[in-house]
Amino acid sequence: MAANLPAGVDASTTSPRLFIAASLCAGGTAVAAAAQAHHLGTVLRRGPGDAVRLFNAADGEWAARIATLRRDRCEITIGARLRPPAPEPDIWLAFAPLKRDATDLLAEKATELGAAALLPVLTARTQAARVNLDRLAAIATAAAEQCERLTLPRIAPPVTLPALLADWPPGRPLVAALERQGAPGIAPLAGPAGLLPAGLLIGPEGGFTGAELDLLRRHAFVVPASLGARILRAETAAIVGLALLQASATC
């Protein structure tokens, strides 16, 4: 039975959001993933007739209603489109993986802050030798559903720092958070059309080694930057850096 809402409350703006990779169109049917079906029925206590919202980058966001719901399967009838696809910030976050909880937090908050790609980078002082890409994808999907964005960040396999720099597009500035190096604060990266494509590099908790700093300085697209007077934990630095890069677009 559909949930009752107070008068004047629009179900299309309060209903759960689900990322659906398949094409979305009015009158069509979508099938939620098993984890999404479980969350809807067991956690949110939703059932047939209840409103949901479906989204993806190609088709935008759509009003929909649950048609059938079992523990591991949910079929959804698609209604009218609520939002068309729209451009979003194109900032790639390259980061040295941390211990699991810190990496999970970083992936969640980076997604909420609009990172277009999450790029794990293995450095000399990286704390975690392995990265669970499936787990990061699940965290990013849940964060995108919660924060109203239409896209999911691309999640790349881990690469070494030299490999990241060798393959980096030269026309995309890579802002490297280098504390205690006398670097200036993050400068505006906005052009006439808005925020420019860019990247943010966050090193490990122990910082980059001298050899890694020398390597970064040899690439013209690397922009050394400071995040302020305080020495931040790596996950905090990622959040602050993404916020500053996007705030610079309105300066």
Q: Which CATH number fits domain 11-83: 2.40.240.20, 3.10.20.30, 1.10.150.120, 1.20.1250.20?
A: 2.40.240.20
- Among the ranges given (71-75, 84-88, 185-189, 199-203), the one the predictor scored with the smallest mean pLDDT: 185-189
Q: Where in the chain is the domain with CATH 3.40.1280.10?
A: 91-250
* pLDDT per position as a tens digit, 195-242: 678 999 999 988 899 999 999 999 999 999 988 777 788 899 999 999
- Judge whether residue 2 has pLDDT over 50: no
- Among the ranges given (10-19, 53-62, 107-116, 118-127), the one the predictor scored with the smallest mean pLDDT: 10-19
Which numeric CATH code is attached to 91-250? 3.40.1280.10
Strands 117-122 and 159-160: parallel
Q: Which of 16, 27, 28, 12 is nearest to 63 (CA)?
A: 12
pLDDT of residue 127: 80
Partner residues linked to 18 by β-bridges: 54
pLDDT of residue 129: 73
pTM (whole model) above 0.75 = yes
Quick one: CA torsion of 45, 21, 144, 50, rounded to 10 degrees? Answer: -20
Helix 100-112 / helix 234-247 crossing angle, nearest 10 deg = 10
Q: For residue 178, what are the contacts with CB-CB under 8 A and spacing of at least 6?
A: 203, 208, 213, 216, 224, 225, 226
pLDDT of residue 182: 62
pLDDT band for 9, please (50, 70, 90 cuts).
very low
Q: Where in the chain is the domain with CATH 2.40.240.20?
A: 11-83
pLDDT of residue 226: 86
If one compares 8 and 188, the residue with the highest pLDDT of the two is 188
Return mean pLDDT, the chain: 88
Euclidean distance between CA atoms 196 and 162, whole angstroms = 24
pLDDT of residue 187: 67
* pLDDT per position as a tens digit, 121-140: 999 999 877 899 999 999 99
- Among the ranges given (67-71, 126-130, 160-164, 166-170), the one the predictor scored with the smallest mean pLDDT: 126-130
Q: For residue 22, what are the contacts with CB-CB under 8 A and spacing of at least 6?
A: 30, 31, 56
Average pLDDT, stretch 88-108? 93
pLDDT of residue 180: 67
* pLDDT per position as a tens digit, 147-162: 999 999 999 999 999 9
